[in-house]
Amino acid sequence: MVSHLSVKCLLITITAAILLSSNLRSECGRSKSRFTNMLCESYNESYAKFKKCKLNLLGRGRVAADFYLKLFELPINNSWINWSIYRRYNGFRPFLYNISTDFCQLLGRNNFLSFEGLVINAVMTRSNLNHSCPYNHDIILDNLEFSDDFLKTLPLPQGVYKIQLRFATYKVWRVQVTMFLEREE
């Protein structure tokens, strides 16, 4: 005769196996997005200089971006950003966005439904860009990971992309950060 305790253990084991297999199936069927390269360029190193610009391997298939931008002329009260996305089709071609925005105004308002807002919201969680202008300190981005959670509201088809961010202060382009990412199905 089978005891109640052994039946409970059997049911718990079966339930755990079903849950684990459904999680494994959803993980295997989930798309994968990750950074593949990052380039940082300062147009005038007497104004700003990158002390760090690299990708870190966090784990299998997980890559995070880090940079440290040293600013020499503070405070910054006037800043613009140009966002460009390119997709690789026999070379990189413009894709979806090429927008210039007042960076100080963007950080000051809470409209995170736009593309810019989605990117800023992700960046704000991993950097010291969590307030509006003026900036009296260096800019630090620490372990920003490109995940599929970001793509829930902005679906991108499978491919290789280049995201180019150029920053200007007082109507002069100062630095450029280029991120390369790969999206697989």
For residue range 107-118, list pLDDT tens digits in order.
877 565 666 777
The whole-number pLDDT of residue 4 equals: 47
Of 63, 15, 75, 69, the closest CA to residue 37 belongs to 63
For 17, 50, 54, 120, the CA distances from 160, given in Å and listed in that order, are 36, 25, 19, 21
For residue range 24-73, list pLDDT tens digits in order.
333 444 447 888 999 999 999 999 999 999 999 988 878 899 999 999 99
CB atoms near residue 126 (< 10 Å): 17
Judge contact between 95 and 162, C-beta under 8 A: no
Query: What is the value of pTM for the model shown?
Result: 0.77
- Rounded Cα gap, residues 95 and 114, in angstroms: 16
The whole-number pLDDT of residue 21 equals: 37
Amino acid at 122: A
Task: Report the half-sphere exposure of 49 (CA within 13 A, side-chain side).
Answer: 4
